[in-house]
């Protein structure tokens, strides 16, 4: 890998405190750019890449079927990389600035209906240790709205069972405290009774049958397979539970600022997307409570 990219990734980790997943995404995006420039233009030094060559790369991404959001993300990574080079005196101007301006409508995230989700969880009666663990995972994701990466990193010292709270390490290594609902607490307590049967090799909360910490992909499969098995619902992933958590909270009267804090969003604008999802319920509340609704 090019040394300037190595230096940039080190900067993101040590100075900006970005998560491992975010840094890995930057690495993939920049290595993809290097491969393209080497094959198309015979260049290997990012300092020598020109604005027309970068435009060619981004245009070819569209040609090969990449979505607008993916191309915009890759462009953002490239632009930030060249900002780093410019600030360190390696280039005079950022060649990635101003070459792409993709405005995207925010897509509405997938959400499971409150009734369907509650019905599935209440009918779920675990029959083995894997089922007990899996229900604890699903209940915890829905109870807290945490990201799958945050769940992966959870250790026992993140839990305060007496207060029924969890200390979550979010993006940029920012900590937040999230309450734990009774169903999730009960599912976790049941999991604690059998966790040693997995012969855990670390202090991570959730472990595999080999005793190693569960990975993101493993948790995605746990969630997806659980919903397929128990409710014949397909394509459900951990972020669906995060979206459902926020939407159901808002629909039942929580304010945006509270949801922002619970989700660990840096900007309230990110949280506002859930207003659209809960609008039908909001209209019902308005019709029921506003004195001048007619």
Known catalytic residues are: 147, 171, 239, 242, 265, 274
The structure tokens listed for 185 are 């607490």
In sequence order, what DSSP letters do the residues of 163-214 get, joined into one string?
Answer: TTEEEEE-GGG-EEEEE--HHHHHHHHHHHHHGGGG--SSSBSSB-TTSSBP
Count CB atoms within 10 A of the CB of residue 115.
8
What is the phi/psi pair of residue 105, to 5°? Answer: -70, 140
Query: Taking a C-beta distance cutoff of 8 angstroms, is the pair 86, 97 a contact?
Result: no
Q: How far is CA 48 from the centre of its chain?
A: 34
Query: Which of 24, 25, 46 is closest to 35 using CA atoms?
Result: 46
User: CA neighbours within 13 Å on the CB side: how many for 4?
Assistant: 22
Note the maximum CA span of the chain: 71
Distances 247 to 93, 114, 244, 282 between C-alpha atoms, Å: 43, 9, 5, 11
Structure tokens at 247: 């939407």
3-state secondary structure of 29: helix
Phi, psi of 269 (to 5 degrees): -60, -35
């Amino acid at each position: 890998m090019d040394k300037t990219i190595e230096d940039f990734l080190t900067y993101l980790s040590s100075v900006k405190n970005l998560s491992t997943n975010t840094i890995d995404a930057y690495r993939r995006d920049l290595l993809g750019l290097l491969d393209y420039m080497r094959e198309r233009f015979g260049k290997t030094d990012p300092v020598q890449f020109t604005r027309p060559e970068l435009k060619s790369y981004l245009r070819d991404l569209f040609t090969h079927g990449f979505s607008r959001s993916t191309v915009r993300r890759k462009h953002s990574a490239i632009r930030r990389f060249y900002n780093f080079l410019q600030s360190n005196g390696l280039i005079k101007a950022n060649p990635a600035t101003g070459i792409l301006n993709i405005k995207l409508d925010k897509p509405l995230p997938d959400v499971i209906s409150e009734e369907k989700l509650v019905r599935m969880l209440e009918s779920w009666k675990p029959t083995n240790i894997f089922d007990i663990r899996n229900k604890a995972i699903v209940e915890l994701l829905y109870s807290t709205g945490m990201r799958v990466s945050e769940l992966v990193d959870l250790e026992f010292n993140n839990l305060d069972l007496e207060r029924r709270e969890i200390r979550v390490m979010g993006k940029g290594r920012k900590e937040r405290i999230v309450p734990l609902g009774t169903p999730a607490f009960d599912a976790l307590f049941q999991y604690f009774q059998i966790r040693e049967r997995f012969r855990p090799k670390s202090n991570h909360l959730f472990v595999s049958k080999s005793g190693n910490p569960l990975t993101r992909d493993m948790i995605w499969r746990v969630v997806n397979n659980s919903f397929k098995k128990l409710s014949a619902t397909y394509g459900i992933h951990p972020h669906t539970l995060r979206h459902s958590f926020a939407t159901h909270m808002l629909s039942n009267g929580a304010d945006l600022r509270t949801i922002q804090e619970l989700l660990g969003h840096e900007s309230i604008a990110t949280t506002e997307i859930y207003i659209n999802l809960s609008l039908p319920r909001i209209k019902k509340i308005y019709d029921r409570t506003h004195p001048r609704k007619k």
